Amino acid sequence: MTSDLSRRRLLFGGAAVSAGVLLAGCTSNEQSPTEAQTKAAANNANTEPGKKVTIGFSAPAADHGWIAAITNNAKAQAGAYGDVELKSVEAGADAAAQRAALSTLISQKPDVIVLLPHDGKELNAFGLEAMKAGIPVVNLDRAFPDPKAYRLQIKGDNYGMGVAAATYIAEQLKAKGVSNPVIGEIPGIESLELTQERSKGFADTLASYGLKVANRRPAEFTVDSGQQAATGLFQALPKIDAVWNHDDDQGIGVLAAVNQANRKEFFMVGGAGSKKAMEDIAADNTVLKATVTYSPSMASSAISLARLIGQGKGMSDLVELQVPKEIVLSSETITKQNSGDYLKLGF
């Protein structure tokens, strides 16, 4: 645990990370995507070589693990197709810099642009500009508010993460016969919309079981902040039955606090689906018993769908002739029983 913790700290560098970069993140253990994260569908007519498609791509700098996995997955997936050329542009430090870089991309007239914006609201105007120029935009993860600003939006289900975590916790407590359970929550950055959506899904679902959160201690998606938040939670609650920690990377710090305080009377659910979390769940030797997914494999899917849009094709299993307008990925619950199935998707 000590060496892993140190590595994570190095990855985050101790520096302040912009809110845009932090929006979804987890620190990757992997230097390159697994085959499962990028593999093109087999025995599918859509995978046959077709019209050459140039895809412009932009995502914030990979100084955070989840973002690194997004960019690595996109590049690897593009490389899986002989008829795709990927043109990447640097996203810069903020939305303004990304907007400037993307303007040069429009002038190169790619067939499709795949974009993970620093901030969906601030890049909405770019989406409108590109669409007006006849270039379909695939909005990845951070939604544009105007539907006319994108051809396709693909993202994870933040509210659904909360629903999945609360459902697992409530069912486990019910099975154990725990009455009046004490439930803790360690969200990510409190001010972010995604954090608020996750917490709302968690609270709404707990309420449907007659349960509620006893104490919340927000962290900042980093190892150190996770450890600090967990320490505060333990001080506030002398006894705990269950905890939902929103992010597997800050969960490294939470587990460090668990060991430091020797607080192992509860079970914990994580968030995102890092490889390290899945390995811990499979080993069953920590309080972490499950995690709910928010996978960066969505970048691989975004590239595949951008290719289909560029080729004027639909999805092979759908009746419709075109790719859908919006795709929201389900948040799935990974436990000891199914961790072996999901490990290939860990990052």
User: Tell me: the pLDDT tens digits for 146-203?
Assistant: 999 999 999 999 999 999 999 999 999 999 999 999 999 999 989 888 899 999 999 9
Mean pLDDT in residue range 252-281: 96
pLDDT for 236 equals 98
Say whether both 114 and 171 belong to one domain: no
Mean pLDDT in residue range 48-53: 93
- The span from the CA of 77 to the CA of 210, in Å, is 44
**How do residues 217-251 score in pLDDT, each as one tens digit?**
999 988 999 999 999 999 999 999 999 999 998 99
Say whether both 80 and 139 belong to one domain: yes
pLDDT for 147 equals 97
Say whether both 249 and 200 belong to one domain: yes
289: domain CATH number is 3.40.50.2300
Bigger pLDDT: 120 vs 291: 291
Say whether both 199 and 301 belong to one domain: no
Say whether both 162 and 238 belong to one domain: yes
Is residue 347 one of the residues assigned to a domain? no
- What's the total number of domains in the chain? 2
Mean pLDDT in residue range 281-301: 96
Say whether both 281 and 203 belong to one domain: yes
Is residue 39 one of the residues assigned to a domain? no
Mean pLDDT of the chain: 88
> Model pTM greater than 0.75?
yes
pLDDT for 44 equals 74
Q: pLDDT grade, residue 48 (50/70/90)?
A: confident
Say whether both 129 and 81 belong to one domain: yes
Say whether both 141 and 195 belong to one domain: no
Say whether both 135 and 216 belong to one domain: no
Say whether both 268 and 184 belong to one domain: yes
**What is the domain range of residue 264?**
158-293
Is residue 120 one of the residues assigned to a domain? yes
pLDDT for 39 equals 61
Is residue 12 one of the residues assigned to a domain? no
Bridge partners of residue 139, in order along the sequence = 115, 153
Q: pLDDT grade, residue 7 (50/70/90)?
A: very low
pLDDT for 69 equals 87
pLDDT at residue 57 is higher than 80: yes
**How do residues 90-109 score in pLDDT, each as one tens digit?**
898 899 999 999 999 999 99
pLDDT for 277 equals 95
Q: Which of 10-24, 67-81, 214-228, 266-280 has the lowest mean pLDDT?
A: 10-24
Percent of the chain residues past pLDDT 70, beyond the cut: 87
Residues 6 or more apart whose CB falls under 8 angstroms from that of 158 comprise 194, 197, 198, 201, 294
**How do residues 32-44 score in pLDDT, each as one tens digit?**
666 666 665 556 7
pLDDT for 12 equals 35
Say whether both 75 and 115 belong to one domain: yes
Is residue 217 one of the residues assigned to a domain? yes
Say whether both 136 and 114 belong to one domain: yes
